[in-house]
Amino acid sequence: MASIKNLFTPRTEEDGAFFYAIKKIILYRPKNIQLFEEAFTHRSKNEKYSDGTQKNYERMEFLGDAIISSIIAAHLYKKVPGGNEGYLTKMRSKVVSREHLNELGRDLNLISFVKSSIPTTQFGGNIHGNLFESLVGAVFLDKGYKFAEKFINKRVIKPYVDIQKLEGKIISYKSLFIEWCQKNKKQFKFNVYEDTGNDALKHFAVKLKLEDETVSKARATSKKKAEEIAAKRAYYKLKSKIDSEML
């Protein structure tokens, strides 16, 4: 029999759909659905609780980030008993990289739940990972660490954490290229300039010089992206040499 609370608590059809969609994702029945509503509320809504505190996902995103990191750290600590601190830190970084978290958020289509006063098409790509982190924060607040661990194990560790594959995964070509240059005392420079093309969005172009030679070029909507693309192209151009000297 339904409880008196459930009988007299109004729930719109939309609210019910959200409840069951969240239940399907987190793999249990939420105790406090309001936590999950907050986890998908963008700051542009400017919503507040009765005590005046902001109601948006940013605090939960912060919490979820810490929870994910601790659960992955514990898993790697148990899974790789011979791994030293540097190795474990690097492996954890690969699992919780922004690129990977964005992939997780996209796979679960979390952006479809966002309440926002601006079109979701205007969000940057990191919105997907931010929402995944806030979702984990909501799970932790709703049911505790054990349930958050179970969720991460199901959604992250089992499908994605393969130690051998992670060892060969590159999370930043720019960092790898710089490390290789420094290790082998090679001079390099990213020459960045504003691209004055006809695109609606401003672009930046990069020439990556190694010693006195331009080894790659790239353009993107930010300096950071352009440098990363240029470094990636340089890596694949010099792959055999870099791989052998980074062993």
71-101 burial code (b ≥16 CB/10 A, e <16): bbbebbeeeeeeeeeeebeebbbbbbeeebb
Decide if 154 contacts 27 (C-beta within 8 A).
yes
- DSSP code for 193: E
What totals of helices (H) and strands (E) does the chain contain, helices first? 13, 3
Residues involved in catalysis: 65, 133
Sign of the CA dihedral with 216 first, then 217, 223, and 226 last: negative
